[in-house]
Chains A and B, each alone.
Chain A
Amino acid sequence: MKRKLIANSLLGIVIGTTIGLWMSVIFSLVFAEGGYAPAPPIFTDRYSNPLQAMVISILLWSAIGVLFTLSGLIFSETDWSITKMTVIHLLVTYVIFLPLAMACGWLSLALPTILGFTALFLLIYLIMWLISMQIAKKQVAALNQRLKNTNDKK
């Protein structure tokens, strides 16, 4: 288990950093008119030099990556019901991702922004829950079909 935590954390750092890097490049392409910025000005204005801003950005991207890979273990390592896993994953990710996104300069403290973010979050999790339940229903149907087949053969 400990090995899984370490392996997943490392994976999280790598994936988070890579996604963060490419997203910042895409955003820079669209908004920064030829320059490059790891995050919106709200963020970069906080720091005295570009290198500092970059290093902090990379650390934050890594943290976000680790958040998602570790919380993913909720789904792979536990035997909880789909509802329980989804709810706990939602809570863990929301509580940690919100401040991280703010630290990155992606979210402001304005109430409408926070409400919008929360609504989007809830919607995504609702969809995830519905899909998981559908998949499980199909699995159960398949198992029952096989059960019927073996019993019919007897």
Chain B
Amino acid sequence: MKVTVTLDEKLPENELILQTKEKTDAINTIVAYIEDTPKTLTGKIGKKHVMVPVNEFTRFYSSQKKVYGEAGQQEFVLSYRLYELEKLLPPRFVRISNTEIIHLDHVAQFQLSQGGLILIALTNGQQTSSSRRYLKKVKERLQ
């Protein structure tokens, strides 16, 4: 199959238009593959747009109307809203509060603080807390 990629600035983020002569099984397979959970996310760092493999992200959080994704030592600005990420990320990513999604593969330990807050220690040394309401979901995802 010959593939030509053309760019259209007017298209919204993460929308792909496939033009083909007829809708064959091969085309359907390609569409199904593309619609699956994305393997990379586009994030902005400084002025650059970078495609980062989804699994490299440790956590996503929202702050002042922006959504950030941390991968390794870097922090990217994403154009998705948190609830959108919640839907399209693979099951190893789970929402732990109104403002945060974490990657379960990067969780070192769960702890209970002195005052009774559920803390999550990440493998990179960071610490965050989970909201009680989302805890049940976290437990289910950990299976």
A residues with a Cβ closer than 8 A to B are 79, 81-85, 132-133, 136-137, 139-140, 142-144, 146-147, 150
Say yes or no: B139 contacts A140, CB within 8 Å: no
Evaluate whether A142 and B115 lie within 8 angstroms (CB atoms) in the complex, with A79-B97, A147-B109 already known.
no
Interface residue from A79, A82, A146 paired with B115 (Cβ < 8 Å) = A82
B residues with a Cβ closer than 8 A to A are 97-98, 104, 107, 109-118, 129, 131-133, 135, 138-139, 142-143
B8 vs chain A, min Cβ distance (A): 42
Interface residues of A, dominant DSSP: helix
Interface residue from B114, B117, B131, B139 paired with A142 (Cβ < 8 Å) = B139
Interface residues of B, dominant DSSP: mixed
Say yes or no: A140 contacts B111, CB within 8 Å: yes
On chain B, the residues within 8 Å of A85 by CB distance are 116
A130 vs chain B, min Cβ distance (A): 11
Say yes or no: A132 contacts B116, CB within 8 Å: yes
Q: Give the complex CA separation of A133 and B116 in angstroms.
A: 6
Residue of A nearest to B119 (CB): A140
Interface residue from A84, A133, A147 paired with B110 (Cβ < 8 Å) = A147
A67 vs chain B, min Cβ distance (A): 22
